[in-house]
Chain A
Amino acid sequence: MKKPYPVPTPDSRPFWNGLAEQKILLKHCRDCDCVFHYPRVTCPNCLSSDLDWKQASGQGTLYTYTISRRPTHPLFADEVPQFMAVVELEEGPRITSTLLNVPEDKIQIGMALTPVFEHNEKEKITLLRFQPADTALRGAAPSAAEDKPASASQLTPEVLAYIGRVSDKVSGYPVSAEEIRRFCYATDDHNPRYLSGEDIVAPPMFVSIPFDWEVPMDSLPEDGTPQQNDGLVFPPLKAKRKLFGGYQVEYFQEIRPGDVLTRQRKFLDIYERSGASGSSVFMLIEATYTNQRGEKVAVDINTIINR
């Protein structure tokens, strides 16, 4: 899942278009003459809908702030420490923003601020951030990496780019009654439905077995997991230890001897959780299984925790 960006509405679009042109537009009530933010279809002072837009000077003061040492949400882990600000514009309205270009010890409630229009070409949106108006107060905030190496986010843009990537479609070895029996004896499952008779089926957890290829010990991947040959490359992470974090499957069809399953995997999500002992990266990998008739057999989601 990607970071949330604003989605303009018909009523608010002029505000966002204004930011793209480095202008802060505030709604203005022609009946009571008040200006307000955020945009609404009625004036919060008198409920009139006789409204137009006024351009703000852009100058403001810091009404209040906090420095969040933990991500306010996993999707903002890359911004820690977050300099969360409420800015009071010269015209009166307050606005949610963050502070840029200021060392922690220079932040003071009431300090004069000036806007920074941060355009994001990919999202086609401009966010409004603020920095000290007094250039003498500007300076780099210590980055998370310098401040606390343990808490630096592992979710670099490079890692996040893996979300949505898909593997090749690969076929597993053909399902045979012998292979189903081997699996059942290994898992101590003596259900006769899997073991004898004309119409045997595979137990549900069998679904991924045809994709685990035996390889010699010295050909095992570095992490010791079964060899996969579908070309899905894992993102480069500092965390090398892997932990199985859960498995969920949804079934649509029985698996029977003679079936040849095809599987395609996909990075459904990658996110980070921080705790006292450092951060863990959660990877959610979804696999879709189809049979030789093109019918969807199952979809599973594996959670792998890297720490």
Chain B
Amino acid sequence: MGLRGNAAIAGYVELKPEKKPQGAPLFSIEQWAMLAQQALRDAGIEKHEVDGIVTSSIAESAMFAPATLAEYLGLELNLAEHIDLGGASAAGAIWRAAAAIELGVAEVVVCAFPAGPMPMPVELKPHPFPFGASSNEYGSPQAQFDIPYGNLAQNCGYAQIANLYGARYGYDPRALAKIAADQRASACANPDAIFYGQPITIDDVLNSPMIADPIHLLEIVMPVAGGAAVVVTSKERAARAKHRPVRITGFGERLAFKTPTYAADLLNTPIAAAASRAFAMAGISHADIDMVSIYDCYTITVLMTLEDAGFCPKGKAAEFIHSHDLSYRGDFPCNPHGGQLSFGQTGMAGGMHHVIDGARQIMGRAGGNQVRDCNRAFISGNGGIMSEQVVLILEGA
């Protein structure tokens, strides 16, 4: 069951993140087109070969996003997918593309996630109180049962998970802080990272302001502008492209809730099911993995993923983190390009940071951040509040 490894990533683009964007703003549909152009050029694949797209929501087109994009880019598609899995969307897009390619439905699929500033609407309707990922629409369960208590946005839910973890297994703030510090070490070798040139220590993390107990400021991603796209194609077409093909040999996807209050067990995250399926599908074990790129909106997300994906026993992640160097030059490279914590979180493209992190390393294109002999990568995508999980296994051809 599952993928046979006959689809591969052939190229990608990841824009340099910007805190204060300098260029002219583009509509998301325009950004999509530019990202597709750059990713296809990177792969060395022609536009007329594209017969599939996977996209997140497009600001200018609440409905019919894929058709609008097909028309705008001048594409004729056999696969047109709109994906809505928050931070897990990018990883989710990749396996959907790979599955369609293996089924013979499509040959070249572009998965693009724009995350740059857009021009202001002509008729500006100010909305000073966006509810973001929390729905305050009439009839939405959150609007009725969660938002009136102030339970919205992300910090709170992740902090509740961290506190619950602490009550059950003990909380080692220095281990959590080390995740941020090690990833910053990687970012300091990556000139594209938003925090390039700004090393931090464990104590810096612990001395940063407490935002929602026990989570400190430097354990939370900073939103930045950017964008990313990946080209997925057949193994055969990828072999004739510019770079070493990065095969998608396993995936798993799992979700069951939106708000942590209603999770069956907040400490057994959906990562476990997604990861075990992905490993079984790829037919490899944890020891075969050369690097991991773990969705890191918060440090606690990384810790929970390390445990639930089986890289260390439940409750033992702190020991594991203390005993390994997680930077790109370490013995357990985790987010070698800096991770979103230090590269910056580029909105919906943030999930693609991890996919590209793995592809870049396996293609051997990571420059100063290259992990030696990197052939197999574990990638996670995480949406909502650890509620939507996608895992990918990538392997060099």
A binds B: yes
Q: Which residues on A are within 8 Å of B, measured CB to CB?
A: 1, 3-9, 12, 37-38, 63-76, 79, 82, 84, 86, 94-98, 108-110, 125, 127, 129, 248, 250, 268-269, 271, 276, 282, 284, 301
* CB pair B164 A63 closer than 8 Å: yes
Known: A5-B148, A69-B210, A84-B151. A64 touches B167 (CB 8 A): yes
**Distance to closest chain B CB from A68 (angstroms):** 4
Nearest-neighbour CB distance to chain B for A280, whole angstroms, equals 12
Please name the residue on chain A nearest to B266 by beta carbon.
A64
Evaluate contact between B144 and A66: CB separation under 8 angstroms. Answer: no
Other-chain contact of A64, B139, B164, B210 (Cβ < 8 Å):
B164
Q: Give 6 nearest A-B pairs by CB, closest first.
A: A66-B159, A64-B164, A109-B167, A76-B150, A68-B212, A64-B160
Expressed in whole angstroms, the Cα–Cα distance for A98 and B175 within the complex equals: 29
Partner of B129, one of A75, A96, A248: A75
> In the bound complex, do residue A276 and residue B212 qualify as a contact, i.e. CB atoms below 8 Å apart?
no
Q: Is the CB of A9 within 8 A of B163?
A: no
Contacts A73-B153, A96-B146; A7 near B212 (Cβ below 8 A): no
Residue in B closest to A97 when the chains form the complex, CB atoms: B149
Expressed in whole angstroms, the minimum distance between the Cβ of B341 and any Cβ of chain A is 18
**Interface pairs (7), CB distance under 8 Å:** A1-B128, A3-B148, A4-B136, A65-B163, A69-B211, A70-B155, A95-B145
With A84-B151, A301-B126 as contacts: A6 and B145 at CB distance below 8 Å? yes
Count class of interface residues, chain B = 35 or more
- On chain A, the residues within 8 Å of B126 by CB distance are 248, 268-269, 284, 301
Residue contact B128 to A96, C-beta cutoff 8 Å = no
**B144 and A12 within 8 A (CB):** yes
- Shortest Cβ distance from A268 into B: residue: B126
B209 in the interface (beta carbon within 8 A): yes
Neighbour of B152 across the interface among A65, A72, A129, CB < 8 A:
A72
Contact B144 A72 (CB under 8 A): no
Judge whether B129 and A74 touch: CB under 8 Å.
yes
Chain A residues whose CB sits within 8 angstroms of the CB of B241 once the complex forms: none
* Contact of B70 with A by CB under 8 A: no
Please tell me if the beta carbons of A68 and B160 are within 8 angstroms of each other in the complex. no
B266 shortest CB reach to chain A, Å:
7
**From B126, B139, B147, B261, residue with most partner A Cβ within 10 Å:** B261
Are A67 and B212 closer than 8 Å at their CB atoms? yes
B164 touching A68, Cβ below 8 Å: no
* CB closest chain-B residue, reference A270: B128
| Residues on the B chain within 8 Å of A73, using CB | 129, 131, 150, 152-153
Interchain CB contact (< 8 A) of A69 among B149, B161, B164, B209: B209
Q: Is the CB of B141 closer than 8 A to any CB of chain A?
A: yes
Instruction: Report the separation of the CA atoms of residues A67 and B212 in the bound assembly, to the nearest whole angstrom.
Output: 5
Given known A-B contacts A248-B124, A276-B209, A66 and B150 have beta carbons under 8 A apart: no
Docked pose: A97 CA to B146 CA in angstroms: 8
The minimal Cβ–Cβ distance linking A120 to chain B, given in whole angstroms, is 10
Task: Report if A4-B143 is in contact (Cβ < 8 Å); known contacts: A73-B153, A95-B261, A127-B148.
Answer: yes
* Complex Cα–Cα for A98 and B212 (A): 14
Given A74-B129, A94-B262, A271-B128, verify A109-B145 contact (CB < 8 Å). no
Determine if A98 and B149 form an interchain contact, defined as CB atoms under 8 angstroms apart.
Answer: yes
Alpha-carbon gap, A12 to B138, bound state (A): 12
Cα A307 to Cα B109 in complex, Å, equals: 50
Q: A68-B155, A73-B131, A86-B260 are in contact. Are A110 and B167 (CB under 8 A)?
A: yes
Q: When the two chains form their complex, are residues A9 and B156 in contact, meaning their CB atoms are under 8 A apart? A: no
Complex: A209 Cα to B155 Cα, angstroms: 46
What is the bound-complex CA distance between A267 and B235, given in angstroms? 61
> B259 at the A/B interface (Cβ < 8 Å)?
yes
Whether A96 contacts B213 in the complex (CB less than 8 A), given A66-B160, A284-B128, comes out as no
Q: Which residue of B lies closest to A248 (CB)?
A: B124
A164 to chain B: closest CB distance in Å?
15
Please, which residues of chain A bring their CB within 8 A of the CB of B136?
Answer: 4
A67 touches B213 (CB 8 A): yes
Closest to B150 in A: A76
Contact A72 B150 (CB under 8 A): yes
The residue that A96 contacts in the complex, of B139, B151, B159, B209, with Cβ under 8 A, is: B151
Closest Cβ–Cβ distance, residue B148 to chain A (whole Å): 5
A103 to chain B, nearest CB (A): 14
Q: Which residues of B contact A76 (CB under 8 A)?
A: 150
Known: A66-B155, A96-B259; 15 extra A-B contacts, CB below 8 A, are A4-B143, A12-B144, A68-B150, A68-B156, A68-B212, A72-B156, A82-B150, A84-B150, A84-B159, A84-B212, A98-B149, A109-B167, A127-B149, A271-B128, A284-B126
The answer to whether A84 and B129 touch across the interface, beta carbons within 8 angstroms, is: no
A250 touches B123 (CB 8 A): yes
Residues of B within 8 A of A250 (CB): 123-124
In the assembly, what is the distance between CA of A5 and CA of B145, in Å?
9
> What is the bound-complex CA distance between A9 and B160, given in angstroms?
28
Given the known inter-chain contacts A66-B160, A66-B213, A73-B152, please indicate yes or no for A9 contacting B144, CB distance below 8 A.
yes
Nearest CB of chain A from residue B299's CB, rounded to whole Å: 15
- B233 CB to closest chain A CB (Å) equals 41
A25 to chain B, nearest CB (A): 13
| A109 contacts across to B, CB distance below 8 A | 163-164, 167
Chain B nearest CB from A156 CB (Å) reads 18
- Chain A residue nearest to B151 in the complex (CB): A96
CB-CB < 8 A to A72: which residues of B?
150-153, 155-156
B residues in contact with A94, CB < 8 Å: 261-262
Chain A contacts of B151 at CB under 8 A?
72, 84, 96
Nearest A residue to B168, CB-CB: A109
Residues of chain B lying within 8 A (CB to CB) of residue A5:
148
Which residue of the partner chain A has the closest CB to B132?
Answer: A73
